[in-house]
Amino acid sequence: MTGEHERVIERIRSSAAAVAAAVRAVPAGTARQEPVPGEWSVHETLAHARNVAVLCLGLRIKRLLYERDPVFGDYDDEPIRHDAMARPEPLEQVLEMLLGEHAQLAGFLSRLPDADWKRSGRHPERGEMSIEMIAAFAGEHAEDHAGQIARAAEALRAR
């Protein structure tokens, strides 16, 4: 396995750990509060990160492993996120699902031959998408939201 692929896998693992650390730093009882008016709550941010990992990125990678040249549909986060907020799950359960998906992706990818990282499908708007591209985005996306949750936790503590 190339060093670049090993770094992508490590980023998937470390980004999940960063999300977990950020969530665990949120003051008790504040996860559903807006940290500042108009910003997503920690719960909403975490649900979004989990949904993207499970319903979009993870599924796309798995499809690329088992299908030949799949065409990906567009992922519309808005209704899914609103539904998650209308029927909220326990925060720890949402976190565990995100951590599980990242662990599963890292495990899959660690056994994947380098040549298979180039397997690709097509998105109607974004064009060609490879396992390599989607896996790299999985780590980046989780890192971004770990930072967002950490900033929200800070704002909630400052109240």
pLDDT in tens, 53-89: 999 999 999 999 999 999 999 888 888 888 888 888 9
Residues forming beta bridges with residue 71, ordered by sequence position: 122
List the CATH number of the domain containing 109.
1.20.120.450
Residues 86-113: what's their mean pLDDT? 96
Q: What is the pLDDT of residue 76?
A: 86
Q: Which pTM does this prediction carry?
A: 0.94
Q: What is the pLDDT of residue 127?
A: 94
Residues 1-23: what's their mean pLDDT? 97
Give the chain's domain count: 1
Distance (Å, rounded) from C-alpha 95 to C-alpha 89? 10
State the residue range of the domain holding 75: 3-158
**What is the overall mean pLDDT for the chain?**
95
Task: Find all residues with CB under 8 Å of 104, minimum gap 6, and list them.
Answer: 58
Task: Find all residues with CB under 8 Å of 103, minimum gap 6, and list them.
Answer: 13, 16
Q: What is the pLDDT of residue 23?
A: 98
**Position 119 confidence tier, pLDDT thresholds 50, 70, 90:** very high
